[in-house]
Amino acid sequence: MPEKAFAHRGFMLDVSRHYMPVADIRKLLQAAQTLGLNRMHWHLTDDQGWRIEIRKYPKLTQIGSVRGDSWFGGGSETENNCGYYTQEEIRGIVEYAGSLGIDIIPEIEIPGHESAMLAAYPEYGCRRGNGDGRWPDKVEISCGIFPGLICAGKPDAMRFLKDILDEVTELFPYPAMHIGGDEAMKIRWRRCPDCRRRMREEGIETEDALQRSVVLEIGEYLASRGKRTIVWNDVLEGGPLPDTFIVQQWMGGEEKTRAFMENGGDVIRSDNRSFYLDYCYGQTNLKTIRETPRIPEYARGHEEHLLGVECPLWTERVNNIGRAAYQLFPRLTAVAVWMEAEGELSPAEFTDRVREKQKKIEALGLTGAPESVWEMSEEDAEKDRKAEYSRVYSGRSGELIHANDQMVLLESTERMMREAGLPEDLIYRAGNTVAAEYYGEAADPADESAGKLIRQIMKAAEGREKEDWRKECEHLFRDIQQCAADTAVPDPGIPAVPDREGTR
């Protein structure tokens, strides 16, 4: 086992979904030191909250850190929905972590997960057409993937991001910074004349490649400030990255991550099935962690580029330190034991070591999950997973998630329609009817037929994993081509770009 394989031993704390008081973060840092961890990845911004003071742009916290009752399912609707960290508080946390031998890596999401940012500064979002109309954004109150992206085509929007990074990099001495890059749906970029202009000028053929261009620009800027750039592995969908970047592998795209490592790129391992600690214990427990291969398949032969392991704690349903402790411990403890083990441990040996370390965690006042859920029978695990699903999709939470899922489905459907060679203008008009419903707006009556057809295609897109999806949709594609001929209207001003192939 190469020593470098576990040089990075960390956990990620999301404070965007629910703010965590400074005293509680210090307690988690004490626990991390007890377990021999040396990194805390601090997820500071997302759709549901902007938690870091940026002095040049005060509305980021004045507006972006505040939301009302929130529905994530399975937790309080009111607790710790608001709040942010002053720069002085951040310096104090960084200093305290350093005294424990722990480096803090900040994350500012770019280019997606920007709803809270755009709620504060909408002028840096995309235009809706040739005019200055903008998409409505707010600090989101539920979980999901949202369409808010920073405009990739406005130079002042990119300057805005760099101004933010100037202040962030001054606060964190660690020689790398995370900029996210995951789950960036491109619905707005496809329609934005500024983004389309940048694509034409740079010869960019897909919106995924446009994201890569933005990431490279930001990476170059961070390099000028002495920082490497960390991104989630989603960014590789737009094309390869230089080995000056670090990729954090969380889900899917393993073949692209492997290619990145083959070309000298370093990777942090956060495989969601083993290391995501917001999951219920029926999904991930001590047995899951104990049986995780020491080296993932995508890294075999390139172990020297595997920096280590990081366990994310997303906090949609983590309202306070008590729930955080339940989710983290003993699973984070188990990951520490798993990393330390020099050879294979029997289930009993593994559990004994976890139990011993847990005594030290409990002594810090952090009460973890009871031993009854550390390992489960498959029957009990299935019950736990179903119970978690019911909690997440209950009541208002389920309604909001369903509405947001329609936009996620629209994203994949628009890509699917492009693959089928349907006219760009028709795709936009059809998709606009779905977006109008999402935003509570009136759709253009001229697009009614196209709207009905795209909803049929959206249903087909839900079963896209089937190999014969294209055959199943042929009649719909013929209908929508006829619709395009029958209802053709002048292009509303969105510049054309070449047809694209190979997008998913």
- CA angle (311 as vertex; 80, 94 as ends), nearest 5: 65
- Residue 152: burial class (beta carbons within 10 Å; 0-12, 13-18, 19+): buried
Do 292 and 359 share a domain, yes or no? yes
One-letter amino acid identity for 456?
Q
In a domain, 137, yes or no: no
Dist. CA 185–CA 278, nearest whole Å: 23
Q: Which of 346, 367, 392 is the last residue of a domain?
A: 392
- In 3D space, the residue among 175, 173, 112 whose CA is nearest the CA of residue 307 turns out to be 175
pLDDT of res. 494: 40
pLDDT of res. 133: 84
pLDDT of res. 504: 23
CA separation, residue 234 to residues 107, 113, 391 (Å): 15, 13, 28
Backbone angles phi, psi at 230, to 5 degrees: -105, 135
Q: Which two tokens stand for residue 128?
A: 């809706």
In a domain, 497, yes or no: no
Do 402 and 388 share a domain, yes or no? no
In a domain, 424, yes or no: yes
Do 263 and 403 share a domain, yes or no? no
Q: Which of 341, 361, 392 is the last residue of a domain?
A: 392
- Residue 109: burial class (beta carbons within 10 Å; 0-12, 13-18, 19+): buried
Dist. CA 339–CA 333, nearest whole Å: 10
Do 342 and 429 share a domain, yes or no? no
CA separation, residue 397 to residues 11, 278, 282 (Å): 27, 17, 21
Give the chain's domain count: 2
Q: What is the 3-class SS of 146-173, one letter each residue?
A: CCCCCCCCCHHHHHHHHHHHHHHHHHCC
pLDDT of res. 217: 98
Do 258 and 301 share a domain, yes or no? yes
Contact call for residues 375 and 285 (beta carbons, < 8 A):
yes
Do 337 and 455 share a domain, yes or no? no
Do 401 and 453 share a domain, yes or no? yes
Q: Structural domain of residue 413, as residue ranges?
A: 395-486
In a domain, 446, yes or no: yes
Do 344 and 462 share a domain, yes or no? no
In a domain, 132, yes or no: no
Q: Report the first-to-last Cα separation within the chain, whole angstroms.
A: 36
Do 265 and 372 share a domain, yes or no? yes
In a domain, 55, yes or no: yes
Do 403 and 382 share a domain, yes or no? no
pLDDT of res. 472: 59
**CB contact set of 468 (below 8 Å; sequence gap of 6+):** none
Q: What is the CATH number of the domain that holds 277?
A: 3.20.20.80
Whole-model pTM: value is: 0.93
Do 283 and 161 share a domain, yes or no? yes
In a domain, 406, yes or no: yes
Q: Which of 340, 371, 392 is the last residue of a domain?
A: 392
Do 364 and 400 share a domain, yes or no? no
Each residue's pLDDT, cut to its tens digit, for the chain (504 residues) gives: 455 669 999 999 999 999 999 999 999 999 999 999 999 999 999 999 999 999 999 999 999 999 999 999 988 999 999 999 999 999 999 999 999 999 999 999 999 999 999 999 999 999 997 777 889 999 999 999 999 999 999 999 999 999 999 999 999 999 999 999 999 999 999 999 999 999 999 999 999 999 999 999 999 999 999 999 999 999 999 999 999 999 999 999 999 999 999 999 999 999 999 999 999 999 999 999 999 999 999 999 999 999 999 999 999 999 999 999 999 999 999 999 999 998 889 999 999 999 999 999 999 999 999 999 999 999 999 999 999 999 999 899 999 999 999 999 999 999 988 888 899 889 999 999 999 999 999 999 999 999 998 998 888 777 655 545 555 566 666 666 666 555 554 443 443 333 322 322
In a domain, 189, yes or no: yes
